[in-house]
Structure 1
Amino acid sequence: MHQPTLRVLNILELLAKEKLTLSAIAKKLNIPAGTLWPILQTLQEKKYIKCDLKNKS
């Protein structure tokens, strides 16, 4: 399977279940926050998720 695509799908599935902070998502999915941040920004810009991009904690 294509790992970057799987990573995004795992993020979306997790966020569909509960609201989480960047650090909580990173911890649950074992993704570095520095890797996760641009993914969340892109998902927000494309309107797949709603999040407070000012609060990265």
Structure 2
Amino acid sequence: MRLRSDWRQRALAVPSVVPGFPILTSPRLTQGPAANGIVVATLLPAATTMMAMLRDG
């Protein structure tokens, strides 16, 4: 069951994550080799998921 505090945390996280992902990954995707861009675009969401799992248990 979700608590009201969970929604507050999500409301604070979404405005930073939604624009942050494309802003931070686009330089890597445009300036490096394609293979490196694929790794960054694949591993960044996976790392985010792993950190969320570790944090929430």
Q: TM-score, structure 2 length as denominator?
A: 0.36
Q: TM-score, structure 1 length as denominator?
A: 0.36
Rg comparison, structure with higher value? 2
Bigger helix share: 2
